[in-house]
Each structure stands twice: as C-alpha cells, then as structure tokens.
Amino acid sequence: MLPGRLWQEEIVANLRGRKALAIKVLLPLILLSPLMLDRVPAHVRSVGLAGAVLFVGTFGSAVGLVRLREDKMLERLAVLPQSSARLLGEYILAGVLFDGFQMLVPLVAVAILGGPAPLRIPGLVACYLVAVVTANALGALAALVASSSGEVHLYAALIVLVVGGLSAGDLAASVPGPLEALGSLLPFHHLSGALLYAWGIAPPGRPVLGVFSGAILLFAALLLSPRLFRFRSG
Amino acid sequence: MVVLDGTSKFYGKVKALDGVSLQVGKGEILALLGPNGSGKSTLLCLLAGLFPPDEGRVVLFGDNRGSARGRIGVLFDHATHWERLTGYENAWFFARSYGLSSQKARPRLDDLFRWAGLWEKRDELVSTYSYGMRRKLALVEALAHRPGLLLLDEPSMGLDYVSRLALYTLLEQEAERGTAVILATSDVHEAALLARRVALMCRGRILVAGEPAALVASLEALTRIELRLVVPLPLASLRQIEGVEEAGLDRQEGDSVCLRLLVRPGREVLARVVNEVVKQGGILQGIEVRAPNLGDVFLRLTGEEGL
C-alpha cells in the first residue's frame, strides 16, 4: 500500500519494523500475564487491563508526536493544505488502530477467563474502543504541553497515574466522593465495569458517560491541535 | 503573486524580520541572499504559512492564505522524511497530501525520480539514503504537485555539481511555466546565476533588491582585491588606506584567511595595500584583482564581514 494519508503512513511505518512490532504485541501480553493467574480477583483483572490500555495509548501517542516534532516532521506537515485537527485526527486514528490491535490479545485472554456472556461482548468492545481513543487523545494533550521528549514522559506518566487512579477509585475505600464521581466519568472506569458486567459479577454501568468524557478529551485535543503544529524557533 | 507589506516577526524579543516589503510576480525567480541569521529562512517559513506575521501583511495568490497552501511547494533547510518508508512512499505521501490524484501522482513522481537520479533507489528505505539523496527527495516532494510558488531554502545544499546544474535548469523551466520561485541562499554565485532579482538581507531587513547585474553595477568603477594571508590583519588598518572603500573577511581556507577589499581603480592603491600588509607583518600568500560581485555589494551596504 502506498500511504497517501497520515494514518496510512503510521500504519505502514509501524508494520515495517517487524522486531519492534513483535515486541509491541508480545510485551503487553507478557506484562499482563499475571492478571491471568487463578487467584487474581476479577476487579483487579479488569482494572489492570483498563490501566494497560490507558498506559499504552497515552505513552504511544505522546512520545510519537513529540518525536515527530523533534524530527521537524510536524513543521513539514504544518505546511500541507490540511487542517491541524485533521492531521491530529488521522494520527490518533492510526494510534487507535494500532493500539487496538496491540491490546486485543490481552483483552481477549483476560475476557475469556471470566466467561463473558456473549450478548454483553459488543458493549465490552465498544467500551474498549472508547478507552483506546481517549488514551490516544490524552497522549496528544501531553504532547501539546511538552516541549521535549523528557518532558513528555513526565506528563504522560502523570496523566496515567492521575487518570488511572481516578478510574480505579472505587477499588479503594478511602477515595473521597467527588473524586470517585469524577473517576466514574472516565472511559477506563467503564472499560473495567464492562468487563465485570460481561462476566456477570457487576450491574451494568452507564458507559455513555465514558463516551461523553472521551469525546470531550478528543475534542479538546483536536481544538488545541494548532498549538501542536506551531512553529518553534531553533 | 506574493506581496509582503511591512512584515515583521519576533522570536521572543528578537526581531527576526523587520518591516520587510517585497513583491514577487508570476514566473519570477527571486534570491534572498544574506549571511546566517539574516532572516531568509524566517521569511520563507512565514510565506509557507508556518506562522503569521507579528506586524504587516502577507498576500499570496490574491488574499486567501488558507487556500494558498496547496499551491506552495516548500523545501526546508532540513531534509526530514519518514525514515521507515521508502523514497517513493515518502514522495507519494506528500504528493497525495497536496491533493494530487493517484493517476496524476504516479507519472509525475516517476519523471521527477528519474530527473533526480533516484529512480534506482526509489524502493529503498529513506534511512539508507545519503544526505544528498535526501535533499533530492525533498526537492521531488516540493515539486511534485506543480506548485505556483516554490519556496526553497538553500536548494543546492548537499547536491553535487551535475545535480546543481540539473536543478538550475529545472527551476528555470518551472519559472517559464509561470511558477514564482523564492530561494534563500548564501551562495553569491548561485544567486547571480539563477535569480532574475536578488534581495540582500541583513538582520531581518532587506537592504536592497534588484537585478544582480544592476546591483553589481551600482558599485560603479570599484575593483575587488582578494588577499590571502597566513595571519589575519586588523581590518581597520586596511580601511584607512587611501583608495580603499571597504574591507572585510571573505572566508577561511585551511590555515589562511581571505580578505576582500573594494578599492578605486589604479595601480597605486594595490601598491599601498601590499605595503600596508608588509608593514603590519602580514605574510601574503596570494593576491587577486577581480570585478566585484554581489557579495561586494553586500559588503558595501553593510560594511560587515560579508557573506
């Protein structure tokens, strides 16, 4: 395939490095393998998987964008007759396709362990996709504020810690009510909830809240995208 | 086609462009000539739409800068590509991003790859390309969509002699087709050879603009003396010699230093210059008397070290 669009370029470039591709696919599986042990509670499994989706999407997108900026590729893209929102949207789309594929095997492996109800699987997949999109949007927001690759790692780590902590807030008894309410808006909370619901050990959540908050974060990233493609002297 | 009116740009407190006014017409080749940091690249970035001016206005193809982007071809001074894609895939990406259809992109890119001598290497990853090949690929990418305005930053940098000549021919053909070409260069000979008009830039300002021959002719009857010395001499002592209009550092060549003097014609001035060099303890390796060039115009206008 000759890549004529940014998302196609990202997919072709990612698929070309076979060793890197193998590592990217196998690493989450290896890191998440402890979740598949018998004694691991279902709550921990679901939160662990949602956290991994958050981590992979946020870091992948943030570090990738800052690397493009440091290579001065964002400057080259900025002079194309395409809006910065479209370019970032395509970059996020590529991230979603790639991360979605990367995390699919661990998702299937973890989901199968709990014996999901077939009718609840589409809802789980929808929550998964919303979480992947949101994680990539969060990565783009981290890249927006970071001015170097060192900084972007710090911001991405902060985002993962804060968003992950809020999303998993209901696991800890001491989380204050407002923070727990905030966490319950996040798509990662709903991905975790969708797994538990698919396994039949939790009532259905309100994933529409996750879609709503994910859309807000994506919209914010697209709205602020001109800042990402802004020329930086030197 | 291109109108800049009192355009200024600040990088923080530094004024990178200072009230630049310029017009470039269809089919014209304009060279921005100046030393490093004179604002040439900033001006090209401004025209490419990387940032708006802080003062003044820029008008391209009428007035709509948004729609103008697709009609501009840009060659940056850095040859950035997608490293994990082949040369052809890179060019394809940019051609399609500029709106070229698949049917039109393929023959156009095939022609340009052959022109650039990259045809045999088209399916190799860019990460295996040499610097010169990357520059050629960047040129292909800038030219593929047949832009109405070409912005080229140091276009011949990294190119061998034959490729330079091929580039000059291509740019002349593009200009004949109606493309306006603005190139930034610090190469006096390139500017004189290629451009129909030259704008000399220094510290963010355009000092003077005009046809190369007319600019050189503005030096009237001055002669250029080039001195090659082992040890540099204080320029002030040379400037004080009767008949010497300007003196500046031209270039460093290994252990020797080349000084450039603009003098009034006459053998006695040359003799006085040689005397002064000897008096100052300078070791003269060579001396050359020539007609002045664009670099001398710059030296005359700024009294600085030159291009």
Question: Could you tell me the CATH number of the domain that includes residue B114?
Answer: 3.40.50.300
Q: Is A117 helix (H, G, I), strand (E, B) or coil?
A: coil
Q: Are residues B234 and B197 in the same domain?
A: no
Do residue A78 and residue B80 have CB atoms under 8 angstroms apart?
no
Q: Are residues B245 and B184 in the same domain?
A: no
pLDDT tens column, B189-238: 889 889 999 999 999 999 899 998 888 887 777 888 888 988 777 888 88
Q: Are residues B129 and B264 in the same domain?
A: no
A29 has pLDDT over 90 = no
Chain A residue with the nearest C-alpha to that of B74: A79
Query: Looking at residue B251, which CATH number applies to its domain?
Result: 3.30.70.1340
Residue at B302 is within a domain: no
Q: In DSSP terms, which residues pair with B259 in a beta bridge?
A: B227, B249
Q: Are residues B239 and B163 in the same domain?
A: no
Instruction: Name the domain count of chain B.
Output: 2
Determine the Cα–Cα distance for residues A165 and A174; give it in Å rounded to an integer: 12
Q: pLDDT at position B198, please?
A: 94
Last-in-domain residue among B188, B217, B246: B217
Q: Are residues B96 and B186 in the same domain?
A: yes
* A153: CB partners within 8 A, 6+ apart: A59, A62, A63
What are the chain A neighbours of B67 within 8 Å (beta carbons)? 81
Residue at B204 is within a domain: yes
Interface probe, candidates A67, A79, A232, chain B, greatest B C-beta count within 10 A: A79
The answer to whether the CB of B179 falls within 8 A of the CB of B27 is yes
Residue at B296 is within a domain: no
Determine the Cα–Cα distance for residues B230 and B220; give it in Å rounded to an integer: 31
A231 vs B50, B80, B98: nearest CB: B50
Q: Are residues B253 and B144 in the same domain?
A: no
| CB atoms inside a 10 Å sphere around CB A122 | 10
Residue B221 distance to chain A (closest CA, Å): 42
Q: Are residues B124 and B55 in the same domain?
A: yes
Q: pLDDT at position B177, please?
A: 93
Residue at B305 is within a domain: no
Q: Are residues B169 and B259 in the same domain?
A: no
Residue at B41 is within a domain: yes
Last-in-domain residue among B217, B236, B266: B217
Q: Distance between terminal CA atoms of chain B?
A: 29
Do residue A3 and residue B89 have CB atoms under 8 angstroms apart?
yes
The answer to whether the CB of A48 falls within 8 A of the CB of A128 is no
Residue at B165 is within a domain: yes
Do residue B93 and residue A17 have CB atoms under 8 angstroms apart?
no
Q: Are residues B126 and B23 in the same domain?
A: yes
A178 has pLDDT over 60 = yes
With residue B132 as reference, give the H or E element that holds it. helix B131-143
Interface probe, candidates A2, A14, A67, A231, chain B, greatest B C-beta count within 10 A: A2
Determine the Cα–Cα distance for residues B70 and B56; give it in Å rounded to an integer: 23
pLDDT tens column, A110-129: 888 888 888 899 999 999 99
Residues of B at the A interface, defined by Cβ within 8 angstroms: 11, 16, 45, 48-51, 67, 69-70, 72, 74, 76, 78, 80, 82, 84-85, 88-89, 92-99, 102
Do residue A9 and residue B82 have CB atoms under 8 angstroms apart?
yes
Q: Is B84 helix (H, G, I), strand (E, B) or coil?
A: coil
One-letter amino acid at A124 equals L
Q: pLDDT at position B307, please?
A: 54
Query: Residue B272 sits in which domain range?
Result: 223-291
Strand B14-24 with B2-11, pairing? antiparallel
Q: In DSSP terms, which residues pair with B57 in a beta bridge?
A: B5
Q: Are residues B159 and B250 in the same domain?
A: no
Q: Is B86 helix (H, G, I), strand (E, B) or coil?
A: strand
Q: Are residues B96 and B6 in the same domain?
A: yes
Q: Are residues B92 and B157 in the same domain?
A: yes
A85 has pLDDT over 90 = yes
User: Model-level pTM greater than 0.95?
Assistant: no
Q: What share of chain A is helix, strand, coil (3-state, %, to 5)?
A: 80, 0, 20
